[in-house]
Amino acid sequence: MSHTHEGGCLCGSVRYQVTGAPQVASICHCRYCQLRSGSAFSISVYFAQDQVQLGVGAVKTHELTTASGRAFDTRFCTECGTTVWWTIGTRPDSIGISGGTFDPPSFWYAIDREVFTRSSAAFISIKSPEQCVTHPAFDPVHHDPARLVGESKTKDSP
């Protein structure tokens, strides 16, 4: 029998349910995720589309094209603004769930890797099994504006 986990936005109007284990759970330090989450990193928990049941609640979609030319479409609650899930061109058959939106026990999944560590805040010290300076599928086709480019300094740089 597969385990199910539920979650949703801050105000509770947007809900979802996932069944089974995630395909991957990662921490992303890219500027897109920093701005989307309003934090130093985001937790991205990916499931196959058939593992996810999206419940009630009005969401709005924000669509952008990454520097690699892929779609990144985030869904957020129209009431409280919480980003709850997204689809991204590097995982076309998956749905990414914001890791902090699961109901307790909130952080039941294991982190598999960190991506875009080049943009990691100096105060972050996460020990994940795999760490990538960018992302394995990062292949820029255009340049982002400076405000969206990750910092290239190491944590030890002045």
CA angle (92, 94, 99) in 5-degree steps = 130
Return the pLDDT at 155: 46
Q: Has this prediction a pTM greater than 0.75?
A: yes
Q: What is the pLDDT of residues 12-31, one digit of tens each?
A: 999 999 999 999 999 999 88
- Structural domain boundaries, residue 15: 4-139
Instruction: Let me know if residue 129 belongs to a domain.
Output: yes
Element of type H or E holding 37: helix 31-37
Position 145 scores a pLDDT of 61
Nearest residue to 27 (alpha-carbon basis) of 108, 123, 117, 101: 117
Q: What is the pLDDT of residues 70-92, one digit of tens each?
A: 889 999 999 999 999 999 988 99
Number of domains in the chain: 1
Kindly state whether residue 100 falls inside one of the protein's structural domains.
yes
| 145, part of any domain | no
- pLDDT, averaged across the chain: 87
The predicted-structure confidence for 86-110, as pLDDT tens digits, reads as follows 999 889 999 999 999 999 999 999 9
> Has residue 152 been placed in a domain?
no
Q: What is the CATH number of the domain that holds 39?
A: 2.170.150.70
Within a domain: residue 147? no
